[in-house]
């Protein structure tokens, strides 16, 4: 009986090894876990060997699996190199997560930049809260995330800082000195919320949370309704119906970094980080059309 090692099952097998399990491999490949399991079974049927064994909640490669892994990497490398020599590329999907603050001002121009730096990848974006994006990275549901805050992790590629601006409704008036300033903030945890309260506290200005929201639209609506002030990263683009406040302490910018999931090729994350640095340094250009998965959150 003739047996073959097909390319798709080999890619799934390598992903299982690189991602540390079937679920993460499925998420990284944008396949179902059942499809990845079926691919591995096909390889085991073709080789007549057990390649992956369950180990607690995870899995590990057998000795035969380790041997096939080395050969699979060589086969895939030669396969992709052959396509490249014919001017063809195997298209891969990269899913990039961002908060709403990054989406409005950065993603259109980042999508354009990535057409040049990642020409053989299909780029998709997911808009969500920072906490959900971090969870998605850990679970392998997304490949990269644009996150505000400290980048003290090997998975993070610092790209710059975002200037922060206070905003209020045009008719909002600052309370008397003895009265706390109402702040409109995102639900915890949120780097912007923390920076807003810390900035006011550092300058001995009393503050109280006047309204909370889980979405950027909710924060802007509450501010527009005069419920308080909010700290936002808008890259100089004042939200409609609001005004910038220059009579409040200037906040320290927040660092922005590109975070990569475990197992993502370093070249991909580096190219995205470089493209984002260029966008921050030279904003502008025509937005590109990119797939956007919208989720509630900010």
pLDDT of residue 102: 64
- Where are the strands (E) in 47-86, listed by range? 52-55, 58-61
Domains of the chain and CATH, by start: 7-85 (1.10.10.10), 92-161+254-294 (3.40.190.10), 165-245 (3.40.190.10)
* pLDDT score, position 159: 86
- Determine the pLDDT at residue 119: 72
pLDDT of residue 207: 94
C-alpha distances in Å from residue 280, one per residue of 52, 119, 161, 265, 277: 44, 21, 9, 23, 5
Quote the pLDDT of residue 90.
59
DSSP letter assigned to residue 89: -
Neighbouring residues of 154: CB distance < 8 A, sequence distance ≥ 6: none
H/E segment holding residue 127: strand 121-127
Spatial separation of the C-alpha atoms in residues 272 and 146, rounded to whole Å: 10
Integer angstrom CA distances of residue 285 from 99, 105, 108, 162:
21, 12, 9, 19
**C-alpha distances in angstroms, 130 versus 59, 143, 177?**
29, 14, 34
Asked if 154 contacts 267 with a C-beta cutoff of 8 angstroms, the reply is no
Residue 6: which residues within 8 A CB-CB, separation 6 or more?
42
Contact yes or no for 213/248 (Cβ under 8 A): no
0.85 cut: is pTM over it? no
In whole angstroms, how large is the CA radius of gyration of the chain? 24
Q: Give me the tens of pLDDT residue by residue for the chain, a chain 298 residues long.
A: 578 899 989 999 998 888 878 887 887 777 788 889 999 999 999 999 999 988 776 788 999 999 999 999 999 889 888 877 776 655 577 888 888 766 666 777 777 777 777 776 778 888 888 888 888 888 777 888 888 877 777 788 888 888 899 999 999 999 987 899 999 998 888 888 999 999 999 999 999 999 999 888 899 999 999 999 999 988 777 888 999 999 999 999 988 888 888 877 788 888 888 888 887 776 554 444 344 444 433 4
What was the pLDDT predicted at 298? 40
Structure confidence at residue 20 (pLDDT):
79
* Cα–Cα dist 134/156, whole Å: 11
Sign of the Cα torsion 256, 121, 119, 125 reads negative
């Amino acid at each position: 009986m003739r047996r073959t090692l097909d390319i798709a099952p080999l890619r799934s097998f390598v992903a299982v090894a690189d991602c540390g399990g079937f679920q993460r491999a499925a998420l990284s490949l944008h396949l179902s876990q059942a499809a990845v399991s079926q691919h591995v079974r096909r390889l085991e049927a073709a080789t007549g060997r057990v390649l992956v064994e369950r180990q607690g909640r995870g899995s590990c490669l057998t000795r035969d699996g380790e041997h096939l892994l080395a050969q699979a990497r060589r086969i895939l490398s030669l396969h992709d190199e052959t396509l490249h020599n014919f001017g063809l590329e195997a298209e891969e999907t990269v899913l990039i997560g961002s908060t709403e603050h990054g989406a409005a001002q950065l993603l259109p121009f980042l999508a354009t930049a990535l057409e040049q730096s990642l020409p053989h990848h299909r780029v998709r974006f997911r808009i969500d809260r920072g906490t959900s994006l971090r969870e998605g990275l850990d679970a392998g549901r997304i490949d990269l995330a644009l996150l505000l805050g400290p980048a003290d992790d090997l998975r993070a590629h610092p790209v710059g800082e975002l200037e922060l601006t206070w905003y209020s409704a045009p008719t909002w008036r600052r309370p008397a000195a003895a009265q706390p300033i109402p702040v409109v903030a995102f639900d915890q945890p949120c780097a912007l919320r923390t920076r807003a309260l810390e900035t006011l506290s550092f300058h001995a200005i009393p503050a109280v949370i006047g309204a909370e929201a889980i979405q950027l639209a909710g924060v802007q609506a509450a501010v527009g309704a005069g419920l308080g002030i909010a700290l936002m990263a808008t890259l100089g683009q004042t939200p409609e119906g609001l005004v910038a406040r220059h009579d409040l302490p200037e906040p320290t910018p927040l660092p922005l970094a590109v975070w990569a999931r475990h197992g993502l090729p370093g070249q991909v994350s580096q190219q995205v980080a470089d493209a984002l640095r260029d966008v921050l340094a030279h904003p502008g250009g025509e937005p590109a059309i990119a797939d956007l998965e919208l989720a509630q959150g900010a």
